[in-house]
Amino acid sequence: MKKWIHPAADKMITIKDLSISFGGRKVIDTVSFEVPAGSTTVLMGKNGSGKSIILKAIAGLNRDYSGEICINGNDIRNIDRNRSGPARPGPGDFKLAYVFQKGGLFDSMDVYSNVAFGLNRLGIDPESIPGKIAESLRKVGLSGSEEKLPSQLSGGMQKRAGLARAISLEPQLILYDDPTAGLDPILSDSIGDLMVEIKTVLRSTAIAVTHDMNIAEKIGDSIILLYDGKIVYYGTVHEFFSGTNPYAAQFIKGDITGPIDIL
């Protein structure tokens, strides 16, 4: 397959020959791609195709892989192993935020404490934390929910609280793990709008896993389609939805016939 080269010059993330195996099965097989600074790359594929596994490797949550993952030219294996959690500094003093599929909130903490968690771990000036939390909650439409527990929030509100926690850190890199899963189309679209706004305001780089075609088209600059552990499409959003790639065409239409085995 001809490799697509993004026109942007500065590559924030460079992945080369990434392979990840579980139980003797190679889930990711020598995958290589680049994510330019300030862009959003969408990862798509069947369930179990390894999309979230790639995110976790980039975040440093899974170090059992071969190949290279570099951020700003620095191999992430050089990150201090004691720096862990949903957000932490990394090579080149960048900030990374991970938005979990179900919000990833701590059940015993209220919304305020959940959003404050990453800020406290990064050693942010305590006096500035309340203002950062208030602004982040305002941006996601959760002002006034500071004292609520996750159990008191709807699924959509939990996802927005997870987004508030991420953007409070003003990260250079955001990893979204299926942020609209289980949401109705209207709420999904609002989350997509918020992701676009976050990118514009923070000028952040992002990788997003999703099955939602509308969200992929709304937020993405490029799309990567995974199948059988390999990249079968890597290019622009426009080209992906043009249907010229047989794998992309089948995935978009949901056809049972084509190069992708439905089993």
Residue 191 and residue 31 in contact, taking contact as beta carbons nearer than 8 Å: no
User: In the beta sheet, which residues pair with residue 34?
Assistant: 14
Strand 222-227 versus strand 230-236 pairing type: antiparallel
Compute the average pLDDT of residues 159-174. 91
Q: Which CATH architecture has domain 1-84+212-263?
A: 3-Layer(aba) Sandwich (3.40)
What does the pLDDT read at residue 60? 87
> DSSP state, 89?
E
pTM of the shown model: 0.87
Q: Give residue 79's pLDDT band: very low, low, confident or very high (50, 70, 90).
A: low
Quote the CA–CA distance of 148 and 150 in Å, as a whole number: 7
What does the pLDDT read at residue 24? 83
What does the pLDDT read at residue 187? 86
pLDDT in tens, 11-38: 789 999 999 998 888 999 999 999 999 9
pLDDT in tens, 81-109: 434 444 444 444 568 899 987 778 999 99
User: In the beta sheet, which residues pair with residue 227?
Assistant: 230
